[in-house]
Amino acid sequence: MIKHLIAVSVLSLSMAGANGPVLAADVSQAPAKKIVVFYPGSSGMEWILKGTEHGGAKPVKRGEPCIGCHIDENKKMDESAEIGAKILSGEKSKNTALEPNPIKGKPGSIAVNVQAAHDANNLYLRFTWKNTGFNSGNKMDAENPVKLAVMLEEPGKLENDTTGGCWATCHTDVRTMPGVTDDKKTKYVVGASLADGKFFDIFQFRSGKGQFVDGHITDKRVMEGGKALQEAKGELNGDTWTVTFTRKLSGGEGDVALLPGKEYNFGFAIHDDYTAGRYHYVSFGYTLALDNPKAGVNAVKQ
């Protein structure tokens, strides 16, 4: 009887694979890539491109990505943590302090393990990191102690997209930047056009009510309308956060369609301690691909 039940179960699974939904890829078994996200302060794209403020302005203008100077995996060199700590201290970078209001005790960076996999229909992303435990007592977003946003973009579509990553959407005149009084202006992209495929795809997990949003960035950030994101889940287990996304390989307007082998610009940001706006941790710009080991993050088919 037991053998019969096992046989029926295996047959049922086989039939499901042939005639119905297949088992999802197990992204927890995918190789993990360590990416350090760091506190960027008010380092908008205009600051990045200003040679009197940022020593890497010329390489960026030549089309070199930020990680070309700040990260060398062969030499095991990653300046992300150092940059975040320096900015949070209030120390000047050349002529400017990128955080005019230093936040005492806040960690300058977070080390995140990123895993990616895909099947015939979906991309699966998994992010794990140690909870910082930092509590400023200032709840900018009282409903959400933690948020994690992912951005995707097809290379070559937008100005500074491959060189600056998500910095292409971050400007010094948006809300929460120093001296800015407009509390409505959000991230935006120069020369964007949704109809022409010139946009950043953005989706986000929000911890407060287990919510997720799927949108895009063109001349402004729109946190709705996307059709690709199917699920976003997150939990704090002990001292470790785990956030996973299930996203269709293609969707609707504002969703980047992912094709095997092709590299896409990829970056992510973490808001902790109920923060909002620029008060987050961000990654440098990487690439993501399906079944392409040359990409910074390679989602292997399961």
Q: Of 123, 124, 118, 126, whose CA–CA distance to 300 is shortest?
A: 118
At residue 101's C-alpha, the angle toward residues 273 and 181, to 5°, is 90
For residue 105, tell me if it sits in a domain: no
Rounded Cα–Cα distance for residues 264 and 249 (Å): 12
pLDDT digits (tens, 9 = 90+) for 220-271: 999 999 999 999 999 999 999 999 999 999 999 999 999 999 999 999 999 9
pLDDT of 1 reads: 36
The DSSP code sequence of the chain is -HHHHHHHHHHHHHHHHHHSPPPPP-GGGSPEEEEEEE--TT--HHHHT-TTT-TTHHHHHTT--THHHHEETTTTEE-HHHHHHHHHHT-EETTEES-SS--TT--SEEEEEEEEEE-SSEEEEEEEEE------S--SSTT-S-EEEEEEE-TTSSTTHHHHGGGGG--TTSTTSTT---SS-----TT-BTTTTBSEEEEEEETTTTEEEEEEESSSEE-S---SEEEEEEEEETTEEEEEEEEESS-STT-PPP-BT-EEEEEEEEE-TT--TT-SEEPPPEEEEES-TTSSEEEEE-
pLDDT grade, residue 4 (50/70/90)?
very low
Q: What's at 292, amino acid-wise?
A: N
* 208 within some domain: yes
The domain that holds 159 is classified in CATH as: 2.60.40.1190
Q: Does residue 49 fall inside a structural domain?
A: no
Structural domain for 238, as ranges = 112-301
Distance CA 260, CA 293 (A): 12
For residue 163, is it within any domain?
yes
How many C-beta atoms lie closer than 10 Å to residue 147's C-beta?
25
**pLDDT tens across 173-206, in order?**
999 999 999 999 999 999 999 999 999 999 999 9
Residue with the two structure tokens 């997720």: 212
Considering the domain boundaries, does residue 39 fall inside one? no
Comparing 67 with 2, the larger pLDDT belongs to 67
Judged against a pLDDT cut of 80, whether residue 102 lies above it is answered with yes
Q: Nearest to residue 230, comparing CAs of 257, 198, 203?
A: 203
pLDDT tens-digit map of 89-99: 999 988 899 99
Q: What is the mean pLDDT of residues 28-51?
A: 97
At residue 37, does pLDDT exceed 70? Answer: yes
Q: What are phi and psi of 289, to 5 degrees?
A: -150, 160
- What is the tens place of the pLDDT at every residue in 106-161? 999 999 999 999 999 999 999 999 999 999 999 999 999 999 999 999 999 999 99
What share of the chain in percent tops pLDDT 90?
A: 88
Confidence of residue 210 (pLDDT cuts 50, 70, 90): confident
State pLDDT tens for residues 41-52. Answer: 999 999 999 999
User: Is residue 27 a part of any domain in this protein?
Assistant: no
Q: Is residue 76, in this structure, part of any structural domain at all?
A: no
Number of domains the chain contains: 1
Q: Can you give the pLDDT at residue 3?
A: 34
Confirm whether 102 is domain-assigned: no
Phi first, then psi, for residue 186 (nearest 5°) are: -110, -175
